[in-house]
Structure 1
Amino acid sequence: MALHCLFMILFLLGFAESQPSFTHPFNHTDIQAVIGDMRAKSYYGFAILLQMLNGTSQPNRELTFLMPDDRELSASSIPVDEIEEFLLTHAIPMPLYFNDLSHFPTGTLVPSGIGSRMIRIHNRGRGDFFVNNAQIVSANVCLSSVIKCHGIDAIIEYDN
């Protein structure tokens, strides 16, 4: 089991290092499908942030977004020139359903969309699953695209 986890972590790290962050263009249909899924589950703030990048940059690969709810987003200040970085720090560089995430044991580190920032998994089951400080409260929000997303209850914090 430990060897399997080690190989998965190495694969994810290699994948994160080999992929650029956001570039243009990306399949516009996928982005619109993801934004529609986010809106349908009341993640309007995250959908707006993703739309703000429309025309300037777009995700060029399959991702898993970890979306804080609107209350959390409205309580934070995200400078316009840091929206892309914010979205990437709330992303994993491969599409993962919650069932995929649930296979990671507690303590597993997975890369965020920013290669130098790692997300620590705290897995105590579906109702008690954390990524760093944020609990996944709404699994599998985005299902209409290759991009996946899950709702979280806080903005993800990273150790400096």
Structure 2
Amino acid sequence: MAIWLVLFITLFTVGESQTTNSFNQTDFEEAMTDMRSKSYYGFVILLKILNSQPNSLQTNDLTFLMPSDEELSQYSITPGQIHDFIFSHSIPTSLVLNHLLHFPNGSVVPSSLPSRVISITNSGRSGLFVNNAKIVTPNVCQTSFIRCHGISATLTFENDVPFRRAQDPKDPPKGSDVPHPTRSVRKMSIPPLY
């Protein structure tokens, strides 16, 4: 009986470790190298600060949406807001531009921060937009499983403006004049299955 218990625990542990996506530091370093090659230094600094915190990044299956250094320099982000900022500017799956182009116009996808969603709008010749920001530098991260795209502005979210310009808190974020659908997302409750 004891041998079966040991065998069962061993199989359970092996099976569990194979299904858990672990964070690969090499992929993370390669993604940051790609970001630096396109001058997204500010976003790299925020990622390094976040990565220095325990259990901050759990998986490499991410797509980062990166505002430019100029755009980041105009916003006040406190150390306590870095986690929410990075995760609200990421999608919890790896997506290259071609994947994003295949989403139906107006699709809403979750960000890595559960309380925020990202709307994808393909405006044809005007470009591809995520919420209020245009993707201006697609497919920056090419050498890792992490994907990243440069965007024209810091993302804004419906009914939520957590990050404001340092100059004038009343100014709307840069790029807010670009077309994007204004949609309210209804939360649905799923009845329990018996």
What's the TM-score bracket when you normalise by the shorter of the two chains? 0.7 to 0.9
Q: 1:142 to 1:126 in 2, by over 3 A?
A: farther
* 1:106-125 pair list within 5 angstroms: 106-125=105-124
Deviation at 1:53, TM superposition (A): 1.7
Alpha-carbon displacement from aligned partner over 1:25-61 (angstroms, at most 9, x marks no partner): 7211111111100000000000110011233144222
Counterpart of 2:143 in structure 1 is 144
Q: Is the 8 A contact 1:102 1:125 kept in 2?
A: no
* Rg larger for: 2
* Residue matched to 1:54: 51
**Following superposition, which runs of at least 4 residues in structure 1 exceed 4 angstroms of deviation?**
none
**Aligned-residue CA RMSD (Å):** 1.3
State which of 20, 31, 38 in structure 2 corresponds to 1:34: 31
Structure 2 residue aligned with 1:78: 77
- Partner SS for 1:31: helix
Could you say which residue in structure 2 is the equivalent of 1:9? Answer: none
Contact residue 26 and residue 58 of structure 1 kept, 8 A:
no
Higher strand proportion: 1
The letter for the 2-side match of 1:47 is V
Deviation per residue, 1:3-29 (Å, 9 max, x gap): xxxxxxxxxxxxxxxxxxxxxx72111
Instruction: In structure 2, give the amino acid aligned to 1:121.
Output: I
In structure 1, the gaps of 5 or more residues are 1-24
Identity %: 51
Q: Would you say the 8 A contact 2:51–2:57 is kept in 1?
A: no
